[in-house]
Amino acid sequence: MPSTPAEPHVLLARIGRPHGVRGALHIDLAGEHLRHIINQKLAILSLPTHPTPVITDYAVKTNLTLAKVEPATGEPRYVQFQEIADRDAAAALTNYAIAAPLSAMRILAANEHRSATPALSQLWYFEIVGLTVLNATDGKKLGSITAIEDLGRNTVITIQPEKGNTLTHPLEIPLNYPHWQGVDLARGTVRLSEWEHFVKANE
């Protein structure tokens, strides 16, 4: 029977149908960071109805070792696990999620960022959600990042305002918008300029 551990897990990818006959699998919801954890044991979890970067309500199906992520660059599309060698075994994982404990991912992320201050687009999604967004012009709080959604060719961030802030309505802005700046993970903030262009589109 699956177990339900208490520790939050970071969602790394959603598993799709088998690819080929040697156990490879299609994936989505995966960022390029997935390549940083090849040869590590990862949890295969039941996929939440509404996936978020950090999941707390799940059941573990098994633990598998990530052997390969393809292609070598760009958006990951396929994975191979050391323990899965044929199409039938791979098919049993369809519609599950690949995840890792939040505590372990925090250590990995901190090691990655040790030598430089990353741009927002270089962070893991679980690091982005919860950041306070400041107006780059005057430093006033606009709101907090509450969601990230992959829309195929674009990834959109949702900023949720709080009462009394400059921003009055939720704002959706692309992750690759060039006016994100000044990420400060220690303070949990990121600055944003020229956000006013998106206000009318979000009202």
Helix, strand, coil share of the chain (percent; to 5): 20, 40, 45
CATH 2.40.30.60 location in the chain: 9-105
Residues of the chain with CATH 2.30.30.240: 120-202
User: Any idea which of 146-150, 178-182, 196-200 has the lowest mean pLDDT?
Assistant: 196-200
The pLDDT of residue 120 is 92
pLDDT(97) > 90: yes
CA angle 114, 98, 102 (to 5 degrees): 40
Classify domain 120-202 at the CATH class level: mainly beta
pLDDT confidence tier of residue 122, bands split at 50, 70 and 90:
confident
Which one of 3.40.50.1110, 2.40.30.60, 3.30.465.10, 1.10.1660.10 gives the CATH number of domain 9-105?
2.40.30.60
